[in-house]
A = this chain, B = another copy of it.
Amino acid sequence: MSALTTTTPRRADRTSTGRRLGELAAPLVFFVLLALAWQWTAYHNRSLIPPIQAMVTDLSSRPDYYLAQLWETLQSALIGLVIGVSIAFALAVGIVHVRALRTAVMPVALLINVTPIVAISPALIVAFGFTRTPHIIVVAIVVFFPMLINATVGLSSVDPQAMDVFRTLSATKGDVLLRLRLPSSLPFVFAGLRLSASTAMLGAIISEFTGTSKGMGASIMLATSYLNLAQMWSMIFLSALTSLALLGLVAVAERMVIRW
């Protein structure tokens, strides 16, 4: 039996600790490299991007200013997100029940999705004035499409065999919606919510480029015109981190809701 080779244990077991360390190390190393490249560029071209410590200094010297702008933008983003996502979901419910609605709504939704919203936002300010409304509308528009698509797919993606059970029971449309379509759609709805959440802050910021003097978008504009690189890039990073936090919240909510 000497020729029989001893099979090696599964690689996953042998190196699982090493691999886990590697998984943590890889992004860290990558981030450090990116930071170094950033610093090099910042010192190489002073009017391109600020050095990291300039951002840290600015952020820590006036946290309330940053928090105030963040809160302003976050409000528009969250209200717009809730409104846009709700309308999209309601429309999706209509679409899975009324076929004509689908063919009517979808082309328009697609058209809106490929329209440069940033070019429209001045018109919204003309129409709705210097209130929060136009900013909320921009957010609602940008978050609308991903949720519409995902909710429509989700509400349609019921197990056909479970549907047969409901149909032989003569379940009402309300029964089917509440007890079958809705729970079945949740994974898709959360996927849509992730997409929507990642664009909500972007929409709010872009809309704040005009029509307001508050919020992160206005602050970025102001920083651009005064060439305050530290403020501009602190805001950009702050907005990106806020979006990531929103994404994280959606993921947590998903894990709490979908327990099956």
Contact = CB atoms under 8 A, between A and B. Distances in A.
B23 A103 contact: yes
Nearest to A48: B126
A120 interface: yes
Interface residues of A, number: 54
Interface string A102-114: 0111111011011
B30 A108 contact: yes
B236 A119 contact: yes
A157 interface: no
A99 interface: yes
A177 B67 CA distance: 48
A244 interface: yes
A127 interface: yes
Nearest to A235: B119
Instruction: Report whether over half of chain A's contact residues are helix, strand or loop; otherwise say mixed.
Output: helix
A118 B116 contact: no
Contact of A27 (B23, B107, B118, B122): B107
Contacts of A108: 27, 30-31, 34
A104 B30 contact: yes
A114 B23 contact: no
Nearest to A204: B116
Contact of A220 (B30, B116, B126): B116
B224 A122 contact: yes
Interface of A: 19, 22-27, 29-31, 34, 45, 47-49, 99-101, 103-108, 110-111, 113-116, 118-120, 122-123, 126-127, 198, 201-202, 205-206, 209, 217, 220, 224, 232, 235-236, 239-240, 243-244, 247
